[in-house]
Amino acid sequence: MAGGFSKQGRMRLMIALFIIAAAAAGGLAWYFGYYTKTPEYAVRMMQEAVEKHNQDKFARYVDVENLVNTSCDALFEGLMDADSSLNDAQRSAVSGFADLFKSPLRAGFTSVIKDFVNTGVWGGNAGSKSALSVDSDVVVNKAGLKNITFRGLEGIETNKEDGTAVVSARVYPEDVGQEFVLKARLQRTEDGFWRLEEISNFRDFIQLIAASRKGMLKAYVDETDRIMMKHDSAIHEMDKKFVDIVQTGNLGQDTTRMALRKIMLESILPDWQKRHEELAAIEAPQAAQTLHRLRIHICELEEAYAKTYAEWLETKSSATIRKANELRRNAKEMEGEAKRIREQMRAKGL
């Protein structure tokens, strides 16, 4: 039949449309009746919630309160496990005050998770905190989340009998330098959907981060102690020569003053500059930042002192010697603080 379908053609078209409609209906039934009630779908929705910064959707598929509570417990216990300086009595004493620490820690962790959903990165709003919470950035750093990269899902294991599933996710924490597989436990809800309840091996992750950081800290301490001892020994010998000249000579004589100036500019100052250079070339881990900055600043003060004292030996200016004495006094005060911090590290076995 020109310009239209034959009766047989119309029948075939109707059958085809029926098949397509049935397939679509079946696909929708599979999607809404089965796929949306799988752990895979829940994981996909969590990812989408973060990508679209949707707090409501995230809360539907993540039990934030339970995740925060279990993560705080794991963080606290993991850090305790990694601190070998604590004896059993000290561990018991600290554990007795655990709830006092965990309350503000939970508030800080809640803020961290909320900021993660809002920004897509850990510590994306580091300045956010409340009067009752721990600074979010502190939580992110302590938990090793600041420098962590998601490498992909390794698999999902579902236990139909108890309605749980474990999602294995490969992550790369820069503090460790190797991949770690985090295990996220999901629970099936009464309406058949799945929610993330906790990271079941988060305590192991914290222990790994803490152990790795301790190793990096020990390597830093060993290397910088070697530098400090070497230069302290050299300065001690130079100081002895300096004192010998002062005791055997006369500061009123130009020969004595020039001999002292020569030691100051050609021996003591270069040694402090070399120490400064060697320390600055070392990358200090987070736990050693205060000590590192102190040591660098001490070098700067001692360098300034050497130059100023050498200037006084030449000019005999009272203003110059006052400035030199002030620089040396400040350096000695900082040396005392640096030694105190170093002693605290020794008490922790470093």
Residue 31 covered by a domain: no
Judgement on whether residues 201 and 240 belong to the same structural domain of the protein: no
- Helix residue ranges per DSSP H, 83-153: 88-96, 98-119, 136-142
What's the number of domains the chain is made of?
2
User: Among 9, 20, 143, which Cα is nearest to 76's?
Assistant: 143
Judgement on whether residues 189 and 45 belong to the same structural domain of the protein: yes
Cα distance between residue 302 and residue 232, in whole Å: 12
Judgement on whether residues 166 and 232 belong to the same structural domain of the protein: no
Whether the per-residue pLDDT at 330 is higher than 90: the answer is yes
Residue 28 covered by a domain: no
Cα distance between residue 109 and residue 101, in whole Å: 12
Note down the domain range covering 318.
Answer: 211-347
Judgement on whether residues 341 and 221 belong to the same structural domain of the protein: yes
Judgement on whether residues 131 and 142 belong to the same structural domain of the protein: yes
Q: Quick one: pLDDT at residue 8?
A: 62
Q: Quick one: pLDDT at residue 222?
A: 94
Q: What is the mean pLDDT of residues 292-306?
A: 97
| Amino acid at site 266 | E
Cα distance between residue 115 and residue 123, in whole Å: 7
Can you read off the two tokens belonging to residue 23? Answer: 């397939």
Judgement on whether residues 136 and 254 belong to the same structural domain of the protein: no
Q: Quick one: pLDDT at residue 350?
A: 79
Last residue of a domain, one of 174, 209, 244: 209
Strand ranges (E), the chain: 148-159, 164-173, 180-188, 194-199
Judgement on whether residues 179 and 280 belong to the same structural domain of the protein: no
* Statement: the pTM of the whole predicted model exceeds 0.85: no
Judgement on whether residues 149 and 53 belong to the same structural domain of the protein: yes
Cα distance between residue 332 and residue 229, in whole Å: 17
For 38-87, write each residue's pLDDT tens digit. Answer: 899 999 999 999 999 999 999 999 999 999 999 888 888 887 776 655 55
Judgement on whether residues 76 and 159 belong to the same structural domain of the protein: yes
Cα distance between residue 312 and residue 318, in whole Å: 8
Q: Quick one: pLDDT at residue 15?
A: 52
Question: In sequence order, what are the residues at sequence separation of 6 or more whose Cβ sits closer than 8 angstroms to the Cβ of residue 268?
Answer: 235, 238, 239, 242, 306
Which position has the higher pLDDT, 153 or 31?
Answer: 153
Residue 174 covered by a domain: yes
Last residue of a domain, one of 184, 209, 234: 209
Judgement on whether residues 180 and 45 belong to the same structural domain of the protein: yes
Q: Quick one: pLDDT at residue 32?
A: 41
Q: Quick one: pLDDT at residue 179?
A: 93
Last residue of a domain, one of 166, 181, 209: 209
